[in-house]
Amino acid sequence: MGGYNIYAPPAYSGLQQRPDAPSMDLSFSYVYTVELTALQALRDQVVAIQNDADFVLRAMLLTFFDGAFQIRLSDSQGTYFSNGYLNYANFLSAGAVVPFPIWPEVLFPKGGKIGIDITDLSDDDNEVEITFLGCKRFNIPR
């Protein structure tokens, strides 16, 4: 069998690297925190990717939220992941906060950004924290 647990969610399993791979993946997360006022819409928010390595996004986790909101994500080139905004409930599993797998995984180049558009739907103050789970991909010189 391979180097993954077939019973675990993909966000926990990861992918086994080839032994001769020209890169090395190390688990890493970026966190986005925002405080929204009632029905506030924020566009063009960013999570900056550090300059030391590319970031491979494999899952998203709604770490904390006070109320309903909708979100739309984009890659470093501004290409949206969806045609419209997605409701926060789409990222919950039977009401529980668990990692939401992103497949196929998305590569963000070093120095790039995760683009975020977010709108409050709760009609009240709403603190939201989202964790982007994945890995830093370091190139290994041959």
Residue 126: how many other CB atoms lie within 10 Å: 23
Residue 18 lies in a domain: no
Residue 63 lies in a domain: yes
Q: CATH number of the domain that 31 lies in?
A: 2.60.120.230
Residue range 14-56, pLDDT digits in tens:
555 555 668 888 999 999 999 999 999 999 999 999 999 999 9
Residue 21 lies in a domain: no
Of 88, 91, 86, nearest in space to 74 by CA: 86
Residue 3 lies in a domain: no
Task: Supply the range of the domain harboring residue 104.
Answer: 27-139
Residue range 49-101, pLDDT digits in tens:
999 999 999 999 999 999 999 999 999 999 999 999 999 998 887 666 788 88
Residue 50 lies in a domain: yes
Residue 31 lies in a domain: yes
Q: Work out how many domains the chain is built from and give that number.
A: 1
